[in-house]
Amino acid sequence: MKPTLSILLASSLLGGCASVSKTPPLDPATLAPTVADRSVTPYIEWKPRPLARPGELLTLSVEEAIYTALERNRELRIQTLEPVKAGAFELIERGQFQPELYAELEAGEEEVSETSRATGEQFSVTGRDASGEIGISQSLATGTEIDLSIQQDRSISNRTSEQQEARLGLSITQSLLQGYGPAVNLASIRQAKLDTLASQYELRGYTEAFVAEVETAYWQYVLAREEIAIFQSSLELARRERDEIEGRIEVGSLSQTDGALSRGEVARRESALIDAKADLAERRYRLARLLNANLDGSLDFQIQASSEPDVDHEPLHEIEARIELALKKRPDLNEARLRLAQDRLQTIVTKNGLLPQLDLFLTLGKTGYADTFFESFENIQEDSYDVTAGLSFSHALGNSAARGRDLIARANREQAADAVLNHEQIVRLDVRLAANEVERARQQIEATEQIRKHLEETVQGEVERLEVGSSTALQVAAARRDLLASRIQEVEALVSYRLALIDLYLAEGSLLERRGLSL
């Protein structure tokens, strides 16, 4: 079984880099589309240990470099929190259909003057009132609002006896036009779900691009290292030839001009080596930044790349199968499809918003009266009750705001649908262009190898002719420069093939699976 590394949302792998092996190539026809998990992982404190101190040597294969960067890179960690935030909005939308418990308690006291109708005499009335209510309300996806409550009122004054009133009430309101049915009321939750899933596809796309960046930086570092080895070897050879030519000049078999040419060739190789070392340092810094081995941004450690650029290079087959795979797995295309689904849901909402507001309401109540608290509840079972039913209607004349929102939603849906079709065309083009580049790089490997072999023979022939006096140091130097360029082109062809494969797997959307990763 091939090794896999799961990339957790809002969490990190603790400890050091896992020991991994190369992942075998995958058959495009066997790669099924990924269905992202919509669950939200809690936040976990991030404390991976440092891997390399300043001045130390960190030895990594390309697989270990990828896994190390995935574990430790802060930019990727920042991106993994986006699905968590999207999932939080989904929780917010679900909250509108959760029951709500409410309670209210109030008390008051008043003293007023009243006039007796019988005697015309004024008298003072002191009264105290207290009331409490507790209930639970629930909104349903059908457009129904349900409210169940219990009320208690207590009234007492110096002119009347204490009176307790208990009431058990039920209120139901049902939307008949605007706001009716699960299709419109659940649209926001479904949109939030799609947004969560879209953010996970966005994370997948970011992760694929990040893996490609790390792998590209690794192979560019390997290329710079190989170029330095070639330049150093070439410089040593140029110095030996310079010394030989200087010796032959001393004995008079060669002219001073040949000596100047040899010394100039050495200087040219030294200059090229200086540039190559600077290029190697730059690429090491870029790779070290992605690895984040010390967690403090320090780049003062050395990297030993243990993977070689040489790889089996066979002609590509089944381009159509690769295109079909890309149409299923490309995260940017899947995200575009989800955005289209969101826009379709929005048109359901705006279309419903064109309807008038018509609500049917029903209120039922049972009331008990007594002069004590407990007796008022006991008397609820008596004959006293209240029932209220009716219709509530409202509609904006002209309804221009709702019509405008619906027009925008339908236009957005049409744009999203065209964008998906256009994106599919781009995906097909990307795969074909990437496959074409892979085939070009593959053929260049064979071509540059043949060029290098021919130039080796040419250099050998020029050296032999120089020894017998039928050639010049200038011709030998030119032949060696051509050989040096061909050796570098041969290594560049190998690395270019590696990079072309990365671009092809990105175009397919299969890079993570091919590297033994799951999101």
Q: For residue range 88-140, list pLDDT tens digits in order.
A: 888 898 889 999 999 999 988 887 777 777 777 777 778 888 999 999 999 99
**CA angle 82-83-88, nearest 5°?**
100
**Rounded distance, CA 356 to CA 87, Å?**
33
CATH of domain 5-45+56-90+190-341+413-518: 1.20.1600.10
Does residue 297 carry a pLDDT above 90?
no
CA nearest to 329, candidates 31, 49, 108: 31
Give residue-wise pLDDT tens across range 447-505. 988 888 888 888 888 777 877 777 776 777 788 788 888 888 888 899 999 999 999 99
Q: Tell me, what DSSP letter sits at residue 313? A: -
Asked whether the predicted pLDDT for residue 82 surpasses 60, the reply is yes
What's the pLDDT at 356? 92
Position 149 pLDDT exceeds 90: yes
With beta carbons less than 8 A apart as the criterion, state whether 369 and 154 touch.
no
Residue 96 per-residue DSSP state: G
Question: What are the residue boundaries of the structural domains of the chain, listed by start?
Answer: 5-45+56-90+190-341+413-518, 101-139+144-178+358-394
The number of angstroms, rounded, from the C-alpha of 376 to the middle of its chain's C-alpha atoms is: 61
| CA count, 13 A, side-chain hemisphere, 176 | 10
Mean pLDDT of the chain: 83
Please answer whether residues 116 and 123 qualify as being in contact, where contact means their C-beta atoms are separated by less than 8 angstroms.
Answer: yes
> Per-residue pLDDT averaged across 386-402, rounded?
91
**Average pLDDT of the residues in 407-411:** 94
Q: Looking at the predicted structure, is the pLDDT value of residue 1 above 60?
A: no
What is the average per-residue pLDDT within 51-79? Answer: 83
Look at 328 and 378; give whichever has higher pLDDT.
328
What is the separation, in whole angstroms, between the first and last Cα of the chain? 18
Amino acid found at 174: Q
**Which amino acid, one-letter code, is at 449?**
E
What is the C-alpha to C-alpha distance for residues 102 and 104, in angstroms, rounded to an integer? Answer: 7
401 C-beta neighbours (distance < 10 Å), count: 10
What is residue 115's three-state secondary structure?
strand
How far, in Å, CA of 7 to CA of 513, rounded?
12
pLDDT at 22: 38
With a cut of 90, say whether residue 247 has pLDDT above it.
no
Helix 187-250 × helix 473-508 angle, to 10°: 170
Q: Which residues, at least 6 apart from 503, have a Cβ–Cβ distance to it below 8 Å?
A: 212, 434, 437, 438
- 3 or 386, which is more confident: 386
Our measurement of the distance from residue 284's CA atom to the centroid of its chain's CA atoms, rounded to an integer in Å, reads 26
What lies within 8 Å, CB to CB, of 210 at 6+ separation is 69, 70, 73, 75, 76
Where is average pLDDT lowest: 26-30, 41-45, 200-204, 440-444?
Answer: 26-30
Q: Report pLDDT for 39.
A: 43
**Could you tell me which residue, 118 or 335, shows the higher pLDDT?**
335
Q: Are 74 and 95 in contact (CB under 8 A)?
A: no
Sign (positive or negative) of CA dihedral 69, 70, 72, 73: positive
What would the mean pLDDT of 311-337 be, rounded to a whole number? 89
